[in-house]
Amino acid sequence: MCPIREWFFDFEELNGGLVYMGNDSPCKTAGIGSIKLRNQNGSTRILKDVRYVPQLKKNLISLGALESKGLVVMMRDGILKATSGALVMLKGVRKNNLYYYQGSTVVGTVATATSSNKKDAEATKLWHLRLGHAGERSLQILTKQGLLKEVWSGKPATDYDSLHIFGSIAYYHVTESKLDPRAKKALFMGFSAGVKGYRLWCLESKKTIVSRDVTFDESSMLNKVNPNSSDTSQQVEYTPKQVEFEEAVVIPTTNTTNNSPTEEKESDDEEVPPQEPSQQSVPIAVRRTRRENKKPARFADMVAYALPVVDDGSVGDSAIGEEEDECLEIEIDSGNAHHGVVGEVLVADEESGDWIEFEVSVVEFGGEVGEEAGGDGEHREVLEIGVVIEAVAGDVARVVRPLPPHNADAGEAVTGEDLRQFVESRANHDVVVAGVADICHAYQVLKRGGLKDENIVVFMYDDIANNEENPRRGIIVNSPHGEDVYNGVSKDYVGEHVTVDNFFAVLLGNKTAVKGGSGKVVDSGPNDHIFIYYSDHGGPGVLGMPTSPYLYANDLINVLKKKHASGTYNSLVFYLEACESGSIFEGLLPEGLNIYATTAANAEESSWGTYCPGDSPSSTPDEYGTCLADLYSVAWMEDSDAHNLRTETLRQQYQLVKKRTAAGNSYYGSHVMQYGDLKQSLDTLYMYMGTNPANDNLTLLSDNFLWPSSKAVNQRDADLLHFWHKFSKAPEGSTRKFESQQQLAEAMTHRTHVDNNIKLIGKLLFGIERGPKVLNNIRPAGEPLVDDWNCLKLLVRKFETYCGSLSQYGMKHMRSIANICNAGVNVQQMAEASSQACTSFPSNPWSSLHRGFSA
């Protein structure tokens, strides 16, 4: 009841009606309507069916009326709360034995919105989810007692991702003929005693299988029935997956020491569900279709970009300008000469008509060929570039590559030195590198390739070499017995100068926008080729930075588009190492920008660290308590160290890195992806990284067996592995053991805090049943993570305002927050749900007060 008429809206006058007070005196009711209230946390509530009683002196809210609306009223310690589920609808404070509402009224016409009633069972369940989790002391006790896996095996567990749901669907790898399926469906039954492997029940053969190479599908159960469906027949849920077929034909070799599954001979009395009908196998194309023969514009003026500069004035800019629009034409004497046969060819300038006779060995029609020049049988030298045959008419093939300076008469030999001087005089080779420890190795690869420091820009936080926990001060290695990759690194932007704004300013060549550092930028031109290597923590749609805020995918793509619009590069290659790194380009990077990008993982999975403690094959020194390298990064770097980059192409390196990073398609690996203009993958690595002269005589290997298999660790568990290694190596009762135990407990507490709060926010916004489905939704392949990137940044900031920093681990929840945006939740609703989920602001090192905001 309320005596103030101005507070009402949707008001309806009444001619009669009385309200009796405590002394049995009647008061006339003049009308009925609604009043809008604003709580102290900014949320708004609407009281309906409020009586307008002018004779009253104070406003009265009936607790019985609130209870009849489905609210739960609690009074404790002088505080009254009216709750609906886990949401606090109204709050009051006791004064003089009366409870006074904490808030204010909102005068004026508003759009009403009421919350739906919750069942008592759902409200009780929601309160249990909010308040029923273990405290910090309980987590410390659990940490001391160990995990179930440790109790079973009696050994410490360093990998927390190997625990799976019993009875879930699993697929084990089959190494049989090429026509058989690569994986078979089974049920996960547990761990096999005495053997490193999973116990599986094969639904097809009705036998127990022990295998180490298993992929789990814990999102669906066998013969799961949809309760919302009217059909009573059994239904099996499935999740669509994006499959990428390799274009190269791989010839399998016999491996007598493979990791094939074995049958375990034992009696099985378990009840087995009925077998599902086998799915029809999809035929796989044995060879790719012939591509459409079109001359790409990007090959019109192709020069090797990331090469050493030779200060040779023999070829001036004027001579280059005269020849840059010309191309080579090859005429093959034999019609079959372009199928791996050495034939006699004629090379001519289209305009002058001067012909030069030499031999050519065509490696692959429509792909790369190696040329061998000769004149009069006296001088023979392999030209140091690849040739791409783009169109063939009869026996004449057009080679889309610029001519060297035309200083030879008909019949005179064209040597590799002539062409090398022509290319190197055109190169500017700006290279941008951003990330963490692996960039030191990347820098050494480029330096050995002949690049100068003035053409390399290095971003690094530089907190590893002289860290007190580094067992070899001033030295950084990223392989067990590798050399010091930190020595001689030219660092341009370190510490607080490693920011998103500086990275974008350097990439755009904007010297005035750079703050701090060396001031070096990518001052490139229209004929230049750029190589970017970025390595850091990541999450869906976001890349980590040593300083806040983080780098978001849409901002990076917009900068790349601006760079292309400025016409300041010919082609650009982007290597990206991060968890869910595929989401940075998925559905965002268009074709036509002359950009080719590869990522360490797809848009849904984590990347992996390698050369970790306890890894026997790699013999990682025991003094290191962390993984030395990232699997994707070390794969392309060690491949570049061991091959001739003058002949190896981006596509060939992509195939080798993809195979190694997948770790035999096991759980301990990721799927390397490629995006952008895929035809650009025919370029040689020499154009972007240079080449080490010591590797000129090396041959490209089709199988990447140069490096032994190494145990991989999920990047998000790398800190837990480090803390556990410190704890296990520290002496009993020492300060270091106590500190490492505290660090491990804080890390686990933070993970629990972030995971539980994200789940609770989803249930507060969408309900107990619908909340998890919304948070875990994955968009189809080819679509971006979120429709409104500004909404994602605002919601992330609201979450971190009430709940603390997401941190490197919490970045994996970016997809959940993006799904909240896609569901239409606004900033005010997110703030309200976050304030209810996070009742206390964290003050540990993961607080946003210490780390800043991610957006």
d(CA 803, CA 801): 6
Phi and psi for 103 in degrees, rounded to 5?
165, -160
Phi and psi for 770 in degrees, rounded to 5?
-85, -25
Is 440 in the active site?
A: no
Whether the CB-CB separation of 330 and 344 falls below 8 Å is answered with no
Which of the residues 2, 202, 440, 579 is marked catalytic?
579
The DSSP secondary-structure symbol of 453 reads G
Is 564 in the active site?
A: no
β pairing state of 608-610 and 262-263: unpaired
β pairing state of 214-217 and 198-202: unpaired
Q: Which amino acid is at 145?
A: Q
Phi and psi for 532 in degrees, rounded to 5?
-120, 130
d(CA 90, CA 683): 66
The DSSP secondary-structure symbol of 681 reads G
Contacts 24+ apart (CB under 8 A), 656-664: 656/704, 657/598, 657/632, 658/246, 659/704, 660/631, 660/635, 660/704, 660/707, 661/600, 661/608, 661/631, 661/632, 661/635, 663/608, 663/631, 663/709, 663/712, 664/173, 664/213, 664/259, 664/709
> What secondary structure does DSSP assign to 753-776, as a single string?
HHHHHHHHHHHHHH-TTHHHHHHT
Give the DSSP H or E segment for 795.
Answer: helix 789-803
β pairing state of 595-599 and 571-577: parallel
Whether the CB-CB separation of 347 and 355 falls below 8 Å is answered with yes
d(CA 821, CA 123): 25
Identify the burial level of 390 via C-beta atoms within 10 angstroms of its C-beta, where 0-12 means exposed, 13-18 middle and 19 or more buried.
Answer: buried
β pairing state of 431-435 and 456-460: parallel
Other Cβ atoms closer than 10 A to 567:
10
d(CA 178, CA 172): 16
d(CA 538, CA 167): 32
SS3 of residue 810 by DSSP: helix
Unique residue bearing structure tokens 């970790």: 612
Instruction: Single out the residue of 306, 461, 386 nearest to residue 700, CA to CA.
Output: 386
Unique residue bearing structure tokens 């078979």: 184
Whether the CB-CB separation of 812 and 579 falls below 8 Å is answered with yes
Q: Which two tokens stand for residue 572?
A: 């650009």
Which of the residues 173, 529, 537, 671 is marked catalytic?
537
Identify the burial level of 454 via C-beta atoms within 10 angstroms of its C-beta, where 0-12 means exposed, 13-18 middle and 19 or more buried.
Answer: exposed
Whether the CB-CB separation of 673 and 599 falls below 8 Å is answered with yes
Unique residue bearing structure tokens 């963490």: 436
549 upstream amide cis, omega within 30 of 0: yes
Phi and psi for 674 in degrees, rounded to 5?
-130, 145
β pairing state of 355-361 and 342-349: antiparallel
Q: What residues does 395 pair with on adjacent strands?
A: none
Q: What is the dihedral of CA 715, 717, 718, 723, to 10 degrees?
A: 170
d(CA 167, CA 201): 9
Instruction: Single out the residue of 108, 279, 116 nearest to residue 183, CA to CA.
Output: 279
Catalytic sites, residue numbers: 537, 579
